[in-house]
Amino acid sequence: MNRVPRIFIAAMVSISLAASCSRNGTLPPRIVTTTDVFEDGYPAEKAIDRLARLGYEGIDMGLDYWLFEGSPFISDGYLDWGKSLRAHADKVGIPYTHAHAPGEADNDRWLSRSIEVAGVLGAGYLVVHPVFRIDGKVIEDSTEFISVNASAIRKWLSMAREKGVVLLSENILWGASKNPRIIADLVKEVGSPYFGWCFDVGHAWCSGYSPDVIKECSVAPLSVHIQDNHANGDEHLIPGDGTIDFDLFLSALEEVGYCGDCVLEAHHQSLEAPDGERDGILSRLLDVAEGLRDRMPPRKAGPTSR
């Protein structure tokens, strides 16, 4: 019996969801994965082709994996590299929707370059880790944390606007940065349409926060990082392989009016596997993501709705 190619099935599901949502002026969340499912230096064009073939609908460019010697990201030709990747992704039909900057919000060299590359890729959202320490000392005080990070982010807002990129802070793993409520308060303090935040449900869980903590936040997240763990380390597992209650997570997204994509940062199992086993792992991740996406609120048109 002939089998229908998976990419065709994914396209038909996406078209059906899009038709349904368009009647309400919304769009279905796209299933997006980080490129960190591949090792440093894995050819970006090959990643585009492979993820498209498997049925993914968007790519989150992990620029934090492109700092090795000889990387095009750190070369003088970084913009040409970004433009060539954009052209290839457009040809294949899978957009770069998100990107992730190396370092923290005070790393001027890499943040400047990341905003430029995100802009030429067409990635409307760029995740930037907050500054979580000063002179090696972790920032614990929320007022100090917000002040330091607001100052760090404000200097990049005009560039973000020029490049068409929304900067997103993220709850991470140290001091005040662990608390999603503080990250949301930082966004409220900055008060710019070019700055929001990304809720990493895995980081929250292994830092002692419930997956529905976003209901207690002053500002709803514009993006999410979906992964799983066992509450004792940042494992970045496929959802369901850890102990996170994704029913709570999904109901909270609905309650706060989340209107972004289904962005996966569940990369460790693929990253650590032999390359010949990756398609199977990434297909299982996609299957799980389809179940999550079907229960997520619809996406509103925004900077990455192309």
Q: How many domains does the chain have?
A: 1
Could you read off the pLDDT of 48-61 as tens digits, one per residue?
999 999 999 999 99
Q: Does a structural domain hold residue 122?
A: yes
Average pLDDT, the chain: 92
Give the pLDDT confidence of 218-274 residue by residue, as tens digits.
999 999 999 999 999 999 999 999 999 999 999 999 999 999 999 999 999 999 999
**Does residue 21 belong to any structural domain of this protein?**
yes
Task: Dihedral sign for Cα 117, 51, 39, 292, please.
Answer: positive
Domain membership flag for residue 213: yes
Q: Look at residue 52 and tell me if it is in a domain.
A: yes
Token pair 């005070």 in the structure block, residue: 106
Q: Has residue 304 been placed in a domain?
A: no
∠ CA 230-202-240, rounded to 5°: 55
Residue 300 in any domain: the answer is no
For residue 106, the enclosing domain spans: 6-293
Residue 39's CATH number: 3.20.20.150
pLDDT at position 232: 96
Indicate whether 122 pLDDT > 60: yes
pLDDT at position 117, please?
Answer: 98
- Residue 28 is assigned to a structural domain of this protein: yes
